[in-house]
Chain A
Amino acid sequence: MKTYKIIVLAKQVPDTRNVGKDAMKADGTVNRAALPAIFNPEDLNALEQALRIKDEYPGSSITLLTMGPGRAADIIREGMFRGADDGILLTDRAFAGSDTLATSYALSRAIAKYGEFDLIVCGRQAIDGDTAQVGPQVAEKLKLPQVTYVEQVLEMHPQSIVIKRRLDNGVEVVKAPLPSLITVTSSAPECRARNAKMIMKFKHAKTVTERQDQNEDYLSLYNDRPYLNIQEMTAADVEVDPKQLGLSGSPTKVKKIDNVVLQASDAKRIEATDADINLLMKELIDSHTIG
């Protein structure tokens, strides 16, 4: 039976959906340390689509690729616990300050280095920026066709893929050749939970850098079980043009950041009493705002 080599692009993001009071410092700036780092939600939807292909075509493989600091290896392990076969952490100080274009350049170089594949699956967008740009930008750099806003992979064929897209105003079923890149939207099925067997298997999976912190006798584990090695790639490994990386490789620059400071308003304060609300409704009717 045909098997497929799938690359899932994922990002570790601060959980901006649950910004509590302690996430903002007194001066109005963001306290990033107070926000938990999570697997970007739509990238989990993407992983699930890849896992479903692997369910249907046993022997298919899923490699999770992420770019980020060392701690981003957490989401590679998270992906392994849910069924990914292995992962690559693309990490280098040279990538710091990258905008979406510099990020997609680095990712596309890593994918070129990785070798052959049938399909790239990624989330439509990440919750820390909501730009939805990296998927299409990677596809363009690799000269691959792209299908965005994917809700479901309907059929896999040796040379093509049939996909349902969910748009603002309806659905579209499209056929694309392989290899292609698809971006999966949040209306797609949620990712399955961690698998207890996979947790046992991969809980010690680590990058080279992470292993440096371990004691000697533990290290033999990684020779005996090569699947526990999470591959690390640096800028030098993926043969990049340094001018296209990081801040210097980013055409967009942040001119300024304004912290959101709200002025106290002159709003009318109303208590939730019958009398007050009665007056309010009268006022709104009299001013023809309602009614």
Chain B
Amino acid sequence: MNNLFVYIELEDGIIANVSFELLTKGRALADELGCKLEAVVIGSGLDGIENQLYPYGVDVVHIADDHRLAPYTTLPHTAIICKLFEAEKPQIALMGATPIGRDLGPRVSSALYSGLTADCTSLIIGEHEDKKEGKKYDQLLYQIRPAFGGNIIATIINPECRPQMATVREGVMKSEIRSKTYKGKVKKIDVPSMVSDTDFVVSIIERHIEQRKVNLSAAPVIVAGGYGVGSKDNFNLLFELAEVLGGEVAASRAAVDAGYIDHDRQVGQTGVTVRPKLYIACGISGQIQHRAGMEDSAQIIAINTDEHAPINAIADYVIHGDVMDVIPKMIKYYKANSK
């Protein structure tokens, strides 16, 4: 009872990376809390899936296996999670901040009247004192996220309601195996007793799942542009530099909102989180929401005309100048020196 639960997300039977990342974080938090780590898998054809989860330090794998449960739809997954949580009373529940987690999480929190914090960038255990009520709380989950356009960082807690729920984006937490020989146990969920026919009123007529066109998280070098790049055309220069360096082009939200580049290249709290060997930030001011998605890069170069841009504070190199002037020089001198 009162353990830490992670919702395992599946796409065509394959476990999403974000679920492994949450299990890794969940295992560390469970160790600190002295509780068990439990995973919930809801889908179809799940034989043996527990063996992929145990190495992350999972003690119990709850499996709901029914042909009607894949692909994901809101109501049956909500019904199963809610009934399971009512019975098991987890203290913490984590989900990916993906289209599935962001569809399921709020629905569950609304049904169970438990607080949910979206898109956390950090989760830690801490205490809290409510002086007005004269109450002390040990071992609460601090759910930390940037807010208000990234100008502030908020620490959110749920003192009274359980589970304490949070969603985290893919790539924000690291994924790490606890032990190849770690063994937990399976608990089968009796699906017919958990869902009713009315949970299947929304039907999927058609699905086209495409591989992501760009894979930012695997790129060793990222050339990222912000609003300061100035136009869609100017982004071509960034593509040129990325190609020369064997990297990918990314962007800040401001550049995406301005229509300079596609949303699937957005880095930051509401985009992708990346940790390349080299991150070249071109005309990016560096609001914290953007920094949250790239500050763990091994090396950061900031190219900016604004000497006081926040990005400069986390950069290893600051090039004071115009992007359109600096990039051609970088291409030229990379070519000259790499031969």
Contact = CB atoms under 8 A, between A and B. Distances in A.
Contacts of B11: 169
Given A145-B202, A290-B221, A272 B320 contact: yes
Q: Which of B114, B116, B159 has the most CB of A within 10 A?
A: B116
Given A132-B118, A281-B337, A285-B334, A172 B204 contact: yes
A100 B147 CA distance: 14
Given A17-B257, A272-B325, 12 more contacts: A139-B110, A140-B110, A146-B74, A149-B99, A170-B209, A173-B206, A174-B203, A252-B115, A268-B317, A269-B318, A272-B320, A274-B329
Contacts of A139: 107, 110
Say what secondary structure dominates the interface of chain A.
mixed
A278 B337 contact: yes
Q: Kindly list the 3 A-B residue pairs having the minimum CB-CB distance in the complex, ordered from nearest.
A: A272-B321, A16-B149, A251-B115
Interface string B85-127: 0000000000000110011011101110111111100000000
A269 B321 CA distance: 11
Contacts of A264: 313
Nearest to A266: B316
B333 A278 contact: yes
Contact of A289 (B110, B157, B287, B298): B298
Contact of B154 (A134, A251, A254): A254
B276 to A, nearest CB: 10
A167 B158 CA distance: 30
Contacts of B204: 172-174
Given A172-B206, A176-B202, A282 B115 contact: no
A117 B244 CA distance: 57
Interface string A104-140: 1000000000000000000000011111111111111
Nearest to B247: A290
Contact of A132 (B102, B201, B334): B102
16 contacts: A24-B151, A101-B109, A129-B118, A137-B110, A139-B110, A145-B202, A146-B74, A162-B205, A170-B207, A170-B208, A171-B208, A172-B206, A256-B154, A257-B152, A258-B154, A272-B321
A221 interface: no
B105 A133 contact: yes
A130 B116 contact: no
A2 interface: no
Contacts of B116: 100-101, 133, 252
A256 to B, nearest CB: 5
Contact of B155 (A167, A174, A254): A254
B314 interface: yes
A196 interface: no
B315 interface: yes
B65 interface: no
Interface in A244-291: 250-260, 262-265, 267-272, 274, 276-278, 280-282, 284-285, 289-291
Interface in A79-103: 99-101
Contacts of B336: 278, 281
Contacts of B302: 267
A187 B319 CA distance: 35
A101 B313 contact: no
Contacts of A280: 301, 317, 319, 330, 333
A43 to B, nearest CB: 16
A68 interface: no
B179 interface: no
A258 B122 CA distance: 14
A140 B79 CA distance: 11
B318 A270 contact: yes
Contact of B320 (A162, A265, A269): A269
B19 interface: no
B162 to A, nearest CB: 9
A147 interface: yes
A129 B147 contact: yes
A267 B317 contact: yes
A166 to B, nearest CB: 9
Contacts of A269: 318, 320
Interface in A171-192: 171-177, 180, 186-187
Interface in B134-173: 142-143, 146-161
Contacts of B298: 289
Nearest to A268: B317
A137 B109 contact: yes
A133 to B, nearest CB: 4
Nearest to A130: B270
A271 B305 CA distance: 11
Nearest to B128: A255
A224 interface: no
B338 interface: yes
Given A173-B205, A251-B113, A290-B221, A265 B321 contact: no
A238 interface: no
B210 interface: yes
Q: Which of A19, A146, A259, A290 has the most CB of B within 10 A?
A: A290
B319 A253 contact: no
Contacts of B254: 17
Contacts of B159: 253
A208 interface: no
A140 to B, nearest CB: 4
A259 B148 CA distance: 11
A127 B148 CA distance: 8
B212 A169 contact: yes
Given A174-B205, A254-B156, A285 B337 contact: yes
Nearest to B153: A258
